[in-house]
A and B are shown apart, each in its own frame.
Chain A
């Protein structure tokens, strides 16, 4: 198992380098260092000398990938790509271009509001989706199943934005049950999290229920379920013990790969509910053309994705004895 994990980590290195090169290429194609300098120094009275000075102070005066003016290894090391991307390997994210803030510190701070909203949304959404999917499978071919599926399709067809605005209007403004938006530190944050979590669950439940229902229906038509029923087990026991356990592989594929991304937060939710998480952080960086933050967040995203895939593979062996690290 250990050698498998090491092998997967080694495979990840060229992927991470490739992601970094692509990010730098794309960013500098649409956004030259001069544009960044002009935007950051302000729109008014920015002289060419001020732009050059800014670039020099922030290391953007170097060539992007190859420095033809240097000799030997310095051809590669004295470049924007090397200077900005290599420290990322040991998670030194450096300082932002726009506000000169320590990005690592900011990620550590903003990770918690993101987790505060995404973790309960994910966990509760998963449990409710699994429960409802099993309920539909249990009541299959009744009007509960039919209308449940119709409702799930309706739920998954509606934009998240609609749920957010509708939820804020009905539950926040009309019924005045929750604060419309906002966030606070510590336990005071709880009252602000209920509404986005409810809305997040409603927005994701349609997809989850439809998917898991299909998985369960496929499972309950298999021989081992028929055997369980023949043994005289109750339908609940059949579903929750035998069907659920054997349906775990597709469920895990869907779930484990998502876990690392919970740190990343939700771009739309955080913006509409004024939650100071990493989703908001990324959107702001893109809008303000802060390459240092964008690069760091893309790097973090690629690492999390790889971790998610490795975790998924490991989890297969835990639920299915037939899967081995070969």
Chain B
């Protein structure tokens, strides 16, 4: 069997942040092991420990992390996927599970009736022996080189390697945090991680703020000297070659409500902000050509608007297992194509997203390999090409009605004259959802189809999806990594929700599509892969298991004192490039937030003056009554 071997070399001289987990006593043993309540007086985080240490990053830390992912106590959500690819990982994680259950059974037997697993494991965490069982899929070559061996070729694995769960984990840190006394103070590894990056966790209070501070041990990394074509013009290469990171401290504040968040951004207390629907008109004005720009008010404040299409697809789907809307006959295809035309997503984007979106021609969003722009990328079952405007034009509702009649439902009625009723399952329980649901009902009504809404909470919605108890639904997908495989797998038969508990919610199963997917997923990007993708798209568009919906466009605002911001929805490591002109920010804050006291003084004065006559009258009355007495 063909196996894929990834040999990874770790850069030498990269040091970990200063942390008590690395502190050693004179004998070389961990200084802070066996901690108890007394030893933790006044300690609320790793920063409060007097002695800290560091050491160099090695291949062992990456290997330890892969082993750790298999520890059942870590509850890694990616374990089930990695088990499919990394050689021997499934057997290894099963063995660790057995070890864990054996330890638990022993503890339970020793404690008798009074045993409470949760309480016991909080006080005495279980540390599994990761080296007791072999893991053939991971090999150490030398102190700074290791290999990951996959069962089969899987080009998308390079994307997985860039995700947070493959970050190196020093064994000292993992074992330091496995102390009951620390856990009881909520000093845990997920709150206070240990790493080699540009920033370290300074404050972790997710209820209020998370603050990062510059890592003094961060290795030398310069600002990139090259970029994309427009980067230089946009001033994004101004700091080329300078040492990263630029900021000393980054503070994330928890602000749950949109209104105060927006107002504080306008006051200059936040450096950047998204734009909610309520604030959209205040911030953004659309030109006659539909190009977004800043309003005068925002421009005067020196703000910048950045937009980017998100690697996401919001779609509606049909249950392909359903007798009415499912199936693969030409009639069923036409029924779904007719509905796809009637659901005018350009209108939806305008009404519900302030124009922040672009209609989808398939599952693939822009910037993902396989996506085609313009006429080439057109979905011919829903759109025609408007040569004059050089853009797709949705087919007319008459065309949709014609298709519906050919599907056996002229005017939305079957051959016996009964109306076609389709149920719409969704988890939209919020107050804002009613107009969206009504929009769907109206669009179906254009074809004479009655859409019956069945809104439930998200748990019940998922239950229905797993049981296949639905006809029409609405959902979305955010890409984990920028590869067409991450979108097309949503339409693969072996991934269907009802039969395989997978992510193919429409339960679409086209053998030819599945065959092409197997070919495409292991190909490198290039014309051959593009050809396979085109074939897959053609099949899926004809079958129309989804109404392809739209790809959302993210709008964000930055104050003028923020530099080097470039949208990248796939990257998690862009903070180190951002530069802030703190003096300019403070000057703007002072200018924009001068207190205005006189209205309050005026209100108090009016209240006091208006009460005077009553007070005088009352005093006279009391005076008179006293005199009478």
Residues in chain B near residue A183, CB distance under 8 A: 208
Return the CB mask of B263-274 against A: 1 if under 8 Å, else 0. Answer: 110110100000
Residues in chain B near residue A42, CB distance under 8 A: 77
Is A45 within 8 A of B78, CB to CB?
A: yes
CA distance A48 to B466 in the complex (A): 11
Q: Does B11 contact A (CB under 8 A)?
A: no
Residues in chain B near residue A182, CB distance under 8 A: 253, 255, 264
CA distance A30 to B458 in the complex (A): 11
A232 touching B503 in the complex, CB below 8 Å, given contacts A95-B118, A274-B256, A276-B207: no
User: Which of B178-186, B330-338, B515-523 lies at the interface with chain A?
Assistant: B178-186
Is A87 within 8 A of B260, CB to CB?
A: no
- Nearest-neighbour CB distance to chain A for B114, whole angstroms, equals 9
CB-CB nearest 10 A-B residue pairs: A276-B207, A35-B459, A181-B260, A276-B208, A144-B614, A47-B80, A42-B77, A175-B596, A142-B614, A180-B260
Return the CB mask of B234-259 against A: 1 if under 8 Å, else 0. Answer: 00000000000000000001111101
Pairs A–B under 8 Å by Cβ, sample size 13: A35-B463, A44-B77, A50-B77, A57-B72, A99-B190, A100-B188, A138-B618, A168-B263, A177-B600, A272-B260, A273-B260, A274-B253, A276-B207
User: Which of A101-109, A118-126, A306-314 lies at the interface with chain B?
Assistant: A101-109
Tally of B interface residues using CB under 8 Å: 58
- Nearest-neighbour CB distance to chain A for B178, whole angstroms, equals 13
Residues in chain A near residue B614, CB distance under 8 A: 139, 142-144
Return the CB mask of B201-221 against A: 1 if under 8 Å, else 0. Answer: 000010110000000000000
A41 touching B263 in the complex, CB below 8 Å, given contacts A142-B617, A280-B207: no
CA distance A92 to B118 in the complex (A): 11
Residues in chain B near residue A139, CB distance under 8 A: 614-615, 618
Residues in chain B near residue A276, CB distance under 8 A: 205, 207-208, 254
Is B264 within 8 A of A58, CB to CB?
A: no
CA distance A274 to B294 in the complex (A): 28
Residues in chain B near residue A232, CB distance under 8 A: 629
Q: Does A271 contact B (CB under 8 A)?
A: yes
Q: Does B79 contact A (CB under 8 A)?
A: yes
Considering the complex, give the chain A residue whose CB is closest to the CB of B598. A175
- Nearest-neighbour CB distance to chain B for A299, whole angstroms, equals 16
Q: Does B594 contact A (CB under 8 A)?
A: yes
Is A176 within 8 A of B596, CB to CB?
A: yes
Is B596 within 8 A of A50, CB to CB?
A: no
Q: Does B587 contact A (CB under 8 A)?
A: no
Is B80 within 8 A of A271, CB to CB?
A: no
CA distance A94 to B117 in the complex (A): 11
Q: Does B354 contact A (CB under 8 A)?
A: no
B-contacting residues, A173-229, CB 8 Å: 173-177, 179-183
A-contacting residues, B537-590, CB 8 Å: none
Q: Does B396 contact A (CB under 8 A)?
A: no
Extra pairs beyond A50-B80, A173-B267, A180-B263 (7, CB < 8 Å): A35-B462, A165-B259, A168-B260, A168-B263, A177-B596, A272-B257, A274-B255
CA distance A15 to B375 in the complex (A): 70
Give the contacting residue for B459; candidates A31, A44, A95; CB below 8 A. Answer: A31
CA distance A74 to B81 in the complex (A): 37
Give the contacting residue for B122; candidates A39, A74, A95, A144; CB below 8 A. Answer: A95
B-contacting residues, A75-114, CB 8 Å: 77, 83-84, 86-87, 92, 94-95, 99-102, 105-106, 110
CA distance A173 to B188 in the complex (A): 39
Residues in chain B near residue A77, CB distance under 8 A: 113
Considering the complex, give the chain B residue whose CB is closest to the CB of A144. B614
Q: Does A263 contact B (CB under 8 A)?
A: no
Residues in chain B near residue A176, CB distance under 8 A: 267, 593-596
- Nearest-neighbour CB distance to chain B for A134, whole angstroms, equals 13
- Nearest-neighbour CB distance to chain B for A265, whole angstroms, equals 12
Considering the complex, give the chain A residue whose CB is closest to the CB of B79. A50
CA distance A26 to B568 in the complex (A): 43
Is B184 within 8 A of A102, CB to CB?
A: yes
Is A180 within 8 A of B264, CB to CB?
A: yes
CA distance A177 to B259 in the complex (A): 17
Is A235 within 8 A of B503, CB to CB?
A: no
A83 touching B595 in the complex, CB below 8 Å, given contacts A38-B462, A45-B80, A49-B80: no
CA distance A173 to B205 in the complex (A): 27
Give the contacting residue for B207; candidates A110, A180, A289; CB below 8 A. Answer: A110
CA distance A35 to B459 in the complex (A): 6
Residues in chain B near residue A48, CB distance under 8 A: 501
CA distance A38 to B259 in the complex (A): 32
- Nearest-neighbour CB distance to chain A for B171, whole angstroms, equals 20
Residues in chain A near residue B618, CB distance under 8 A: 138-139, 142
- B contact residues vs A (CB 8 Å cutoff): 72-73, 75, 77-81, 97, 113, 116-119, 122, 183-186, 188, 190, 205, 207-208, 253-257, 259-260, 263-264, 266-267, 269, 457-459, 462-463, 480, 501, 503, 593-597, 599-600, 611, 614-615, 617-618, 622, 629
Give the contacting residue for B75; candidates A44, A54, A110, A177; CB below 8 A. Answer: A54
Q: Does A324 contact B (CB under 8 A)?
A: no
Residues in chain B near residue A143, CB distance under 8 A: 614
CA distance A80 to B96 in the complex (A): 25
- A contact residues vs B (CB 8 Å cutoff): 30-32, 35, 38-39, 41-42, 44-50, 53-54, 57-59, 73-74, 77, 83-84, 86-87, 92, 94-95, 99-102, 105-106, 110, 138-139, 142-144, 165, 168-169, 172-177, 179-183, 232, 235, 271-274, 276, 280-281, 289
CA distance A180 to B593 in the complex (A): 11
CA distance A109 to B181 in the complex (A): 17
Give the contacting residue for A172; candidates B263, B463, B501; CB below 8 A. Answer: B263
Is A57 within 8 A of B75, CB to CB?
A: yes
Is A177 within 8 A of B617, CB to CB?
A: no
Residues in chain B near residue A31, CB distance under 8 A: 459
Is A144 within 8 A of B611, CB to CB?
A: yes
- Nearest-neighbour CB distance to chain B for A240, whole angstroms, equals 15
Residues in chain A near residue B629, CB distance under 8 A: 232
Considering the complex, give the chain B residue whose CB is closest to the CB of A37. B75
Residues in chain A near residue B183, CB distance under 8 A: 95, 102
CA distance A273 to B208 in the complex (A): 11
- Nearest-neighbour CB distance to chain B for A308, whole angstroms, equals 26
Considering the complex, give the chain B residue whose CB is closest to the CB of A62. B117
Residues in chain A near residue B267, CB distance under 8 A: 173, 176, 180
Is A102 within 8 A of B207, CB to CB?
A: no
Considering the complex, give the chain B residue whose CB is closest to the CB of A84. B118
Residues in chain A near residue B118, CB distance under 8 A: 58-59, 83-84, 94-95
Is B113 within 8 A of A74, CB to CB?
A: yes
- Nearest-neighbour CB distance to chain A for B483, whole angstroms, equals 15
CA distance A58 to B595 in the complex (A): 52
Residues in chain B near residue A289, CB distance under 8 A: 459
- Nearest-neighbour CB distance to chain A for B363, whole angstroms, equals 15
Is A73 within 8 A of B77, CB to CB?
A: no
CA distance A172 to B207 in the complex (A): 22
Is A102 within 8 A of B122, CB to CB?
A: yes
CA distance A289 to B205 in the complex (A): 21
CA distance A94 to B118 in the complex (A): 7
Residues in chain B near residue A83, CB distance under 8 A: 116-118
Considering the complex, give the chain A residue whose CB is closest to the CB of B77. A42
Give the contacting residue for A92; candidates B119, B264, B501; CB below 8 A. Answer: B119
Is A175 within 8 A of B257, CB to CB?
A: no
Considering the complex, give the chain B residue whose CB is closest to the CB of A276. B207
- Nearest-neighbour CB distance to chain B for A5, whole angstroms, equals 30
CA distance A307 to B593 in the complex (A): 45
- Nearest-neighbour CB distance to chain B for A152, whole angstroms, equals 14
Residues in chain B near residue A95, CB distance under 8 A: 118, 122, 183
CA distance A266 to B41 in the complex (A): 31
Is B97 within 8 A of A53, CB to CB?
A: yes
Is B72 within 8 A of A53, CB to CB?
A: yes
Considering the complex, give the chain B residue whose CB is closest to the CB of A272. B257
